[in-house]
Amino acid sequence: MASIFSRHCIMKPFFFILVTVLSLFYACTASKIPHYKFNQKTAANHLQQDIIVLKKILEANHPSLYWYTPKDSIDVYFSQAIHSINDSLTEIGFRNKLSTIISNIRCGHTVVRASKNYADAAENSRYPLFPLYIKTWGDSMVVYGNLFTKDTVFKRGAIITSINGFANKQLLDAMFQLISTDGYADNFKSQVISNNFSLWYKLAFGVDSSYRVGYIDALGNNKTTTIKNFIRVKDTINRKKNITITKPVTPPIVPKKPSKKQIKQQQLLAKRSLIIDTATNTAFLHVATFSGKLQPFLRQTMRTITKKNIENVVIDLRENTGGRVDNSTLLTKYFIAKPFKTGDTIAAVIRNIQYKKYIRNAYFYQVAMQVFSKKMADGRFHKRSDEVHFYQPKTKKHFNGNIYLLQSGLSFSAATLFVGSLKGQNNVTVLGEETGGGSYGNSAMFIPTITLPN
């Protein structure tokens, strides 16, 4: 959309495409619906109208709409969603239909989010929870936590085989269709579900009062048992008038409230950190995001690594879902051995944004497109300055030792660009799982928000 740039070109080991694209956030606006009620329903004809509008917006603006899924298939997904709405739906019900369409585009930057009204209402709602924390990979499901702490059956490591009669594959397929990722990188979806199985189960199957769970016991036997929902209860103060306290009560020790500075430091530590192991002469660099003001930290990190004559650097990107390309580019400069580009082709399918009234800040994106893009022979609008520009490796504080890159299914967008640039370098070892984001081509940079009319 707004930045519908697409990067093309064949480089030596791989085909690299970066596209500036649209991310879809359903009704994610600052405005609120007066007298909004949690899980209120919207008329079927209004929802059908929203899907029709969405299809037009994507067809006019999205730069990678048909990269993985042909047009006739995308048309079928939209048509099926429209004809499946025969009655009014709650926001979750409608969101699931939109998410199923969007996930089939296979663009990780195009997603469906809850409306602000719904998000605010959900935050104050203590709905029942499926009680098990479950790690998923492939068709396997294993318990790693339980809200019922005294449960003796579903302990850490328990293997799940079914829930309410649905086998693992059926459960995961239903949840997977609600999650967007680049291409066929299902490992990302698996990680997302593992981080909040209860939420994704609720979105896909709703809330039940109890669950019939199949599992394998310690002897390897297939068994089934029933577990109840976990009901979250608000903290309350006992205010009964007839209670008499007969002995002094020692007041609880209330920990000192952290200062704003301390809170900020903890938040930054969760996003990035550097640990030096002097025994192995190894630096462990944890970068959980490329967003924000990361560059001062990266410069200080390289000063420390250089000063201490570090021989090995481990860069942990397993939680890094992306962020600013200039931050990932700076980090690349410190470790790469040769000049590099962030992409070979950066192109948009349009310059004038269509359906502006549904797109937040559409005029800002359009001005940027007018200023920075140029129509080329292929009919697309290219950002030539980035297509031809080579970034040079740093000469000062450049690291030439052993580099180990850790990636996971959650590694996305700018994080995969960083790994993709260094992959194949003779002092670089890439470890971990398949990433969720595609380094050879993705839709990113300008990420506008669409607000559907109803």
Which has the minimum average pLDDT: 130-144, 192-206, 427-441? Answer: 427-441
State pLDDT tens for residues 18-69.
332 333 333 333 344 556 666 789 999 999 999 999 999 999 999 999 999 9
Q: What is the fold, at CATH topology level, of the domain defined by 263-342+390-440? A: 2-enoyl-CoA Hydratase; Chain A, domain 1 (3.90.226)
Listed by start position, the domains of the chain span 132-228, 263-342+390-440
Whole-number pLDDT of residue 24:
36
pLDDT-based confidence at residue 248 (cuts at 50, 70, 90)? very low
Averaged pLDDT of the chain? 85
DSSP 308-351: TT--EEEEE-TT---B-HHHHHHHHHHH-SS-B-S-S-BEES-S
Whole-number pLDDT of residue 102:
96
Whole-number pLDDT of residue 13:
26
Residue count of the chain: 454
- Cα separation values, 109 from 20, 244, 331, 413, Å: 10, 60, 23, 8
Is the pLDDT assigned to residue 372 strictly greater than 90? no
Q: What's the rounded mean pLDDT across residues 183-192?
A: 93
Whole-number pLDDT of residue 18:
36
Is the pLDDT assigned to residue 167 strictly greater than 90? yes
For residue 186, give the nearest of 138, 135, 133 by alpha carbon: 138
Is the pLDDT assigned to residue 242 strictly greater than 90? no
pLDDT-based confidence at residue 2 (cuts at 50, 70, 90)? very low
Is the pLDDT assigned to residue 11 strictly greater than 80? no
- Cα separation values, 68 from 106, 289, 428, Å: 6, 27, 30
Q: DSSP label at 13?
A: S
pTM, to two decimals: 0.82
Name, in order, each residue with C-beta under 8 angstroms of 399's C-beta and a sequence gap of 6 or more. 302, 305, 306, 310, 313, 334, 335
Whole-number pLDDT of residue 164:
97
Output helix, strand, coil percentages for the chain, rounded to the nearest 5: 30, 20, 50
- Cα separation values, 150 from 81, 134, 154, 210, Å: 43, 17, 10, 17
Whole-number pLDDT of residue 395:
94
Q: DSSP label at 232?
A: P
pLDDT: which is higher, 48 or 218: 48
Is the pLDDT assigned to residue 170 strictly greater than 70? yes
For residue 420, give the nearest of 336, 359, 345 by alpha carbon: 336
Judge whether 132-228 and 263-342+390-440 match in fold.
Answer: no
Q: What's the rounded mean pLDDT across residues 297-312?
A: 97
Q: DSSP label at 259?
A: P
Whole-number pLDDT of residue 297:
95
**27, 452 contact by CB (below 8 A):** yes
Is the pLDDT assigned to residue 265 strictly greater than 80? no
Name, in order, each residue with C-beta under 8 angstroms of 308's C-beta and a sequence gap of 6 or more. 276, 278, 283
- Assign domain 132-228 to its CATH superfamily: PDZ domain (2.30.42.10)
* Best-predicted range by mean pLDDT (150-159, 242-251, 257-266): 150-159
pLDDT: which is higher, 117 or 413: 413
Q: How crowded is residue 74: how many other Cβ atoms within 10 Å of its Cβ?
A: 19
